[in-house]
Amino acid sequence: MNPGTPKNPTTPTGPAAPAVLDAEETAAEENTAKDAAYSLDKGAAEAEGEHAVADDAEAGSAPGPAQDLDPDAALKGSDDDSDFTDPDFDASGKESSGLASAAAAVAAAGLGVVALSGSWTGKIAAERETLIGQIKTSSGGTAAQQISEIYGDAWHSTALVNGLFALLALLVGVFALVRPAFGAPSPHPQPGWVRAVATAGIALGVLGLVISIGMYFDLIVALPTAQ
């Protein structure tokens, strides 16, 4: 190593030093100018976006690009509840539970049972006819007249009342079965248990009606005779 060479290098102080400093200052100024321009561009873009949002809010129902590109928009807008009326939905928008058909089916079955077993109404009618017959035959009468007035009329009154219950059971059961056929067709079928109970009510009504007719006209059991 040359002993005359200095150990610590120093920044040259010749003509090259000012040139390096000028280049660094120029680069710093260019970066500052770029940052300022970028800030101005960003602020202008944000202001333009705010103006666009305000214009869209004022436009309100003006269709956007996404709406223009959707071919099903018109079909979706026209598909409302007024185009189709569902019979299973009532005026409040709730689905109907078919309560009328179910109640009619249960009522038909109950009326059929009453037609076969008898009712309080039939008992009262029979007692009334018995009382009238006793009043009519109290002053005297033949045995056949007493049987007809006291026993026969009461028998026929009971059969008539039971027949009316049987006919009512038949009509109500038929109504429960054919109720879905009236009005617009329902998308939901009638529950199976409703049809079963309504059919049972109809069967009981028919059976009670046949028995009542036979009893009223003395076809099943004849009135007793005086001999």
Tokens of 113: 């049972």
Question: Which residue(s) pair with 95 in the sheet?
Answer: 89
Q: What is the pTM of this model?
A: 0.56
Give the pLDDT mean for 119-132: 94
154 membership: H or E segment, kind and range: helix 153-178
Q: What pLDDT digit, counting tens, does each position of 181-200 carry?
A: 775 666 777 888 999 999 99
In contact, 133 and 146? CB cutoff 8 Å = yes
Q: What pLDDT digit, counting tens, does each position of 36-53 carry?
A: 666 656 666 566 655 554
Give the pLDDT mean for 196-223: 93
